[in-house]
Structure 1
């Protein structure tokens, strides 16, 4: 369960400034000599230090440098790769923690690719853990928590295979590093937590923690699943089957009703697997789809297996959309309240929007549902061999928005990779939770 510590300080700039001025006056009066004056060289040094600190850190950050520094290591073991976040956090009094730095390093493939060799799966994390070893000061290693949280990639493996991988990961970390290892060092994270933590991270970076209903919704499209999260203001108006997905939790100083749903098996990579149909060609099994370029032939690796894939003579936008509709019809219940939310879409949604020319910089831009329909039509018409999945992927994303959730063509959303310079991920929310549990233990 989340606690009130999971929030960002939201004092106004004026309050922070006045607070810092008061603090400076108090400390100045305490530090005077008996004559009431400091030697001129010391005054100049202190003045320069204060100026540098205020310019570089800002009033609040600079004055909080004396706070305790904590490190939390989170490894996001996803379906397509593993990514490490080494978070540097400072205590912010009653407001929980302030993120100072996120050292990030990704690698591929993911743990699920090593289903037949659990030891190799564990050893694949060595570059990430070595990276953390360098980023965390040596004298902080023994009390720096490391957690490996696997998502949809391991959820879709058999329980035995996934368990063997996680056991080997725990052994590897404990045998080779001096980080603090708690029970369940490596575990499969529930999709609900994944979505909730991503929403918390998003609101943190948006500084959207005022004690009023939050208007922000998050849609995080991963490889194995996707998550939809928002605070509901009218729980009674939700579809009957959606009400069980509402959690009542304390966030940012008040109890909130948060809708969070994880759609396992509907991430982008899993959608591809479902849309690629098996056929026999010259006695060999091949996967094909009208969503692939007609003249394409090649290999595709997914979940530790390799497949032969090729295009279809029926390749077109209309046929691809029909295939998606037939495959996923009825899997998603539309939620009218989503129309009132400020939707942020990220992960693979950003990647595919960028490939289609909808967004450029990492901060993304505001796009419409119709924009996704347009780049999907363009991709299917272009038949580009070097973008073999662009038609399939963008048609699927457009299907989610336009037909599954029934968002109007002119519905506007933020498609982003970063917010205020920080990459959106569930890992920061998970780090806050680890710090809260450490306080309570």
Structure 2
């Protein structure tokens, strides 16, 4: 082969190498750019139709990471006007109209092109459970009216339903552990890891009409009615999840008041959980409208009654304890109250909803000891009504109930659920985790939209930016070297 032919062959090889290097560089740059560019955001909407009010939650997540953990965030929380939809039993259209403002706010937040692909759910909890027990036809009418309004929205309405108490508790458990990264997370070294079981947290939820407790017990759950099983990220979780209907904050305080009225039907009713100096009148007939109040009204309760506060926390605790049947669990380690099966509490817990709101008002969410918590509530209960009103202006009707609420929370957690002086420190009173409200709604949406895979996720496709930088630099250097050799071959004087 002659020199000219060798030069032509070398030139051809250099050209091929240059084109290959340039192609590699372009592909790397395109791929790196696609990793760094923002992805399409997806949305989901859940309406929490509780007993006291309805809240709307709008969630968002990157479309290309919908099977990864820790990517769903809360974009909007809106509290609907009025009370819960169950309070509109005599006016179903009013229940539907109460949701419009929040729904319109959520729709405006979502790009119009994504309206039809955005799922919309409504889940009703204990308030509608009680209405269904009391009058199933009224409950059906409320649901029909609400469903018609939601179906008219531009979003993808996927139905309204009454959640079982067990599901409500279990979804709250999923929400808490998902947001805290306890189900699965991506480690700093680029591997998916599943936290140990001891890192999972229990969930404590206190609504207006019911309260839920859910956690992973030490051994198997022995009552199928309180067992919830999920396979999440390749791991099967068997939970104890139970809801106590009529033990929510509002219904418990209603039952407490009814018991005091029954004890003194001619009045005035002396209420140990109301502050001394508090005085009000009430129409006794409304006390017996709830299915949670099973005792018939006393004769002669047609006239208004006078209620007077005495500010006696010891007597208040004694009255609250009458709401529970503790004797049915004497001698049993696996029993809460009213004969309900519950394994001993285990691990850390997150307490939210009215657990948090009650203790937040009392300034008790900073991890205070049980002794400090108890002393703080007692001291608050012993303050006069005039002093309390002056100290907390603008609190409305809820102000009179914080003493009773605080002592009720203590009784429920300690005597009811079985927390002790030692395990009290394991409870964190929180309203959010990772910027998202704690509650059942996120877990509910994740489950229904398939965002929680049953199997462990594959490795992330996207590499660390440093890998792409190194690849690009390598391609550039290779291309420069090839082009340099090509220039030398062309312009270097030949012998």
TM-score range, shorter chain: 0.7 to 0.9
**Matched residue, 1:349:** 355
Alpha-carbon distance, 1:397 to partner: 0.6
Question: What SS class does the counterpart of residue 272 from structure 1 fall into?
Answer: helix
**Matched residue, 2:106:** 132
The correspondence for 1:162, drawn from 135, 139, 153, is 139
Query: Which structure exhibits the higher relative contact order, with contacts defined as CA atoms closer than 8 Å and separated by 6 or more residues?
Result: 2
The correspondence for 1:106, drawn from 72, 79, 88, is 79
**Matched residue, 2:419:** 407
Q: Establish whether residue 122 from structure 1 lines up as the match of residue 96 from structure 2.
A: yes
Residues 90-113 of structure 1 deviation map (CA, whole Å, 9 limit, x = unaligned): 342653783144311113422122
Alpha-carbon distance, 1:216 to partner: 0.9
Alpha-carbon distance, 1:284 to partner: 8.6
Alpha-carbon distance, 1:146 to partner: 1.2
**Matched residue, 1:295:** 277
Question: What SS class does the counterpart of residue 128 from structure 2 fall into?
Answer: helix
Residues 383-405 of structure 1 deviation map (CA, whole Å, 9 limit, x = unaligned): 43533111111111110122223
Alpha-carbon distance, 1:31 to partner: 12
TM-score, normalised to structure 1, is: 0.75
Query: Residues 251 and 366 of structure 1: is their aligned pair in 2 closer, same or farther, counting only changes over 3 Å?
Result: farther
Query: Residues 372 and 203 of structure 1: is their aligned pair in 2 closer, same or farther, counting only changes over 3 Å?
Result: same
The correspondence for 2:226, drawn from 223, 241, 245, is 245
Question: What SS class does the counterpart of residue 407 from structure 1 fall into?
Answer: coil
The correspondence for 2:438, drawn from 413, 424, 427, is 424
Answer with 1 or 2: which has the greater Rg.
Answer: 2
Q: Establish whether residue 73 from structure 1 lines up as the match of residue 57 from structure 2.
A: no
Alpha-carbon distance, 1:150 to partner: 1.1
Question: What SS class does the counterpart of residue 229 from structure 1 fall into?
Answer: strand
Map 1:177-256 to 2 at 5 A: 177-182=153-158, 185-209=159-183, 210=194, 212-213=196-197, 214-235=199-220, 244-256=225-237
Q: Establish whether residue 380 from structure 1 lines up as the match of residue 381 from structure 2.
A: yes
Query: Residues 303 and 119 of structure 1: is their aligned pair in 2 closer, same or farther, counting only changes over 3 Å?
Result: farther
Query: Residues 297 and 65 of structure 1: is their aligned pair in 2 closer, same or farther, counting only changes over 3 Å?
Result: same
Aligned equivalents of 1:341, 1:288: Cα separation in 2: 40
Residues 327-382 of structure 1 deviation map (CA, whole Å, 9 limit, x = unaligned): 213335585631x31111111111111111213xxxxx323433432232122211
Residues 39-63 of structure 1 deviation map (CA, whole Å, 9 limit, x = unaligned): xxxx9xx9xx98xx9xxxxxxxx75
* Maintained 8 Å contact 1:228/1:261: yes
Q: What are the ranges of 5 or more consecutive residues in structure 2 without an aligned counterpart?
A: 1-18, 184-193, 291-302, 327-336, 390-398, 455-495
Question: What SS class does the counterpart of residue 247 from structure 1 fall into?
Answer: strand
Aligned equivalents of 1:414, 1:94: Cα separation in 2: 28
Higher strand share: 1
Alpha-carbon distance, 1:252 to partner: 2.9
Q: CA RMSD in A?
A: 3.7
Q: Which runs of 4+ in 1 moved over 6 A?
A: 282-287, 299-305, 437-440
Q: What is the number of equivalent residue pairs in this alignment?
A: 378
Aligned equivalents of 1:383, 1:309: Cα separation in 2: 22
Query: Residues 408 and 96 of structure 1: is their aligned pair in 2 closer, same or farther, counting only changes over 3 Å?
Result: closer
* Maintained 8 Å contact 2:266/2:305: no
Alpha-carbon distance, 1:167 to partner: 0.5
